Chain A
């Protein structure tokens, strides 16, 4: 699913890159791993989760993905910067929030 974009890769030269930094394709946020920024980490507690999906639309990146059955699956930590919005929004305390590395 992840396509290699020559135009935005780090070996592109000034002659090849897009004019003015325009990104010429849609849907490429997954190419940038915001997970590197994380200092706090959300933990999905499967037993408490009711699959209400309130967490899904509030994620500012794409860290909460929905499977083919319409259910959320575990976090994609490559795209979770640890903002904690999903933790706040969960009415069932099904997302724990812990310090990274502990």
Chain B
């Protein structure tokens, strides 16, 4: 059942949605369109002449080995960030869901990290894990680990994954907690009477009933890892050492702004845009159907 509003004038409804439409058009569609146009253009090094080259920027991109490496790296990062932050957040949420004294307080505390801006997260982790300044680095070195993310690509990558996952835990925690609280108490009680021990209860009742939340968060986390990790990467490693932490989004930035290759950079952002559209499409299609019970 849909409510139908009746307007006297035909113009009024359009006038009412106009501000929102204007914002969307100017700040989203206009830049997107610019990117698409730009991706078909090739500029000389000084920006003096521009020529229309059709799909040459895209074709060049697919011939570039570094681009494929960035794709693989981005998928790996996304997977690692999503899985680690989701599982840790779920663990925290399950523990916070228990009726304990002062639960409101630590629930609130667990949500706080979400309010921290990505670059600040980066700085925070740099201070803790900087090879010469970091508090944690000292312990790592005492334990015999040669910790130096400024030189070791794998360590730099794990640092990024750690910081990005940490940042996202609060957000996931919030949704998991809400999801857990929406599971009727009596269903879990029925399972307890049916002879299911806590672990079995979790895997056979709680976890399946959380599956819509888990799927939603999985998509949100992948999108986050794809795009919102820019701030963390920029403050912590700037894509380095070498290119070991250069994700697709960071490559758009380095190729376009630092490398001056605007055409290729635009082509890369168009590809990213398509990926987001696909991810969002999957989410809309499946969140409503398949995963719900």
Q: Do A and B come from one complex?
A: no
